[in-house]
Amino acid sequence: MSNAAHITNPKTPRPSAARWTRRELLKTVAAGVAGAPVLVPARALGKDGKVAPSERILLGGIGLGGRGRVVLSGMLGEPDVQFLAICDLNRSRREMVKNLVDAKYGNKDCAMSGDIHEFLSDRTDLDAVVIATGDRWHALASILAMRAGKDVYCEKPSSMTIAEGRLVVETARRYGRVYQSGTQGLSMPNRVFGIELARSGRLGELHTAYAQIAPWDDAFMRRDWLPAEPEPPRDEVNWEAWLGPCPWRPYNSAYIGGAWRGHYDFHTGCIGEWGAHTIVQVQAGIGARNTSAIAYEYVDNPFGDGLVARYANGVKLVLLRAHECWGGYSGQRFDGAEGWIANSGGEHEHTRGFSPALLGEVGRVLDGYTARTQRPLDHARDFFDCIKTRRPTVANPEAMHGAMTTVHAANICMWLKRDLKYDPVKEEFIGDPEANRLRSRAMRAPWIA
């Protein structure tokens, strides 16, 4: 981890101990050795129970709306994380984040920016950023941030196309960055329990898995756009930046409020909305974490409800809108020769299975998982631990890209209304040029990765 230091003029006041960087501390100590003794506050060394500045992760945010503020609120509770700055093209939202952060720290120090390029170039002190923009910006913001030397926690769905997902993988690898996709189910206890039972063979040989897709919108999405309204001042909402890499569309305030969902330009549809979560969980359980399905069977309805995807290891995945087989929402299920397990979320996390005795082993299974993987059952904490160790996260770029490729290929299967075969190694559809053209979308200048 590298906390960037600012070299100060000896005549300028020293920074408060709470904001000392490693370099400033060592510089001051060195000066004391050379001349008069210097008293270093205990809090600057982490001796008062607080984390020393040299061990803090300096965090920024990009596009933190409602969901983003939920994620950030949890991160602010981590003792070794200090949030410094927010970048959001919507003034009211960046001000809300600033107020949240300043209230947490009891100061007025959270900085604000409305331009992502200036933010990433100016904030050389940041170790990492959390990204929770709309879907259209997830991959591009992640790529730009990693190129700027930041580790990235990005909400799902983490790409709009197969090509975008591949570029996220390559960027993380080239720049040596830690990346965590916000597919929190990979760290949630009840989901991990189901994944571990499937992965370890406790259900016998797996033959079928089920992943829930969102029971609203459809797979085809709208191709029109909302009627034009007068654009607000640029400092209030930067509409050109809001659109980013998407085709130009006239401003409409409903987009800003979330009505971009269900539009092809901005969304991944009902399959991507929940499939980004449930498919990555299924692939972790069936031994296909870093790959994708190889065959997709079209189903004649608008939603992809019942679409079958098949993996090279013989496991069949069925996409479902219904929730009867898991009891809550955003569910996953594994069926093996010796039994089944289903997990979902809701007011209370739901776990169902074929054996009450097996369901009584939750604690032992989770203890085995944490011992084997050395990971916490906390998605954000896994990210912060990996920033320090530089090991891959549980939702690393390869796992994200494998699952999102299955999402995108299922969408393409629905759009073309025919069965497809896919080569996960070459990352191309077999014998279908039209499907291959849909692996990417044009990006509008200057918002190009």
Partners of 112 in the beta sheet? 86
Determine how β-strand 316-320 pairs with β-strand 428-429. Answer: unpaired
Domain parsing of the chain, residue ranges = 17-181, 184-219+268-437
Alpha-carbon span 243 to 61, nearest angstrom: 19
Q: Is 288 exposed, middle or buried (0-12, 13-18, 19+ CB in 10 A)?
A: buried
Ordered per-residue pLDDT tens for the chain, 449 residues: 444 333 233 333 333 333 344 344 334 434 444 444 545 454 544 556 678 888 899 999 999 999 999 999 999 999 999 999 999 999 999 999 999 999 999 999 999 999 999 999 999 999 999 999 999 999 999 999 999 999 999 999 999 999 999 999 999 999 999 999 999 999 999 999 999 999 999 999 999 999 999 999 999 999 999 999 999 999 999 999 999 999 999 999 999 999 999 999 999 999 999 999 999 999 999 999 999 999 999 999 999 999 999 999 999 999 999 877 787 889 999 999 999 999 998 655 678 887 778 888 999 999 999 999 999 999 999 999 999 999 999 999 999 999 999 999 999 999 999 999 999 999 999 999 999 999 999 999 999 99
Q: Which of 144, 133, 135 is nearest to 63 (CA)?
A: 133
Determine how β-strand 151-154 pairs with β-strand 128-131. Answer: parallel
Alpha-carbon span 246 to 225, nearest angstrom: 12
Q: What is the CA radius of gyration of the chain?
A: 23
Single-letter code of the amino acid located at 377: L
End-to-end CA distance of the chain: 25
Instruction: Answer whether 17-181 and 184-219+268-437 agree in fold.
Output: no
CATH T-level assignment (fold) for domain 184-219+268-437: Dihydrodipicolinate Reductase; domain 2 (3.30.360)
Domain 17-181 has CATH 3.40.50.720: yes
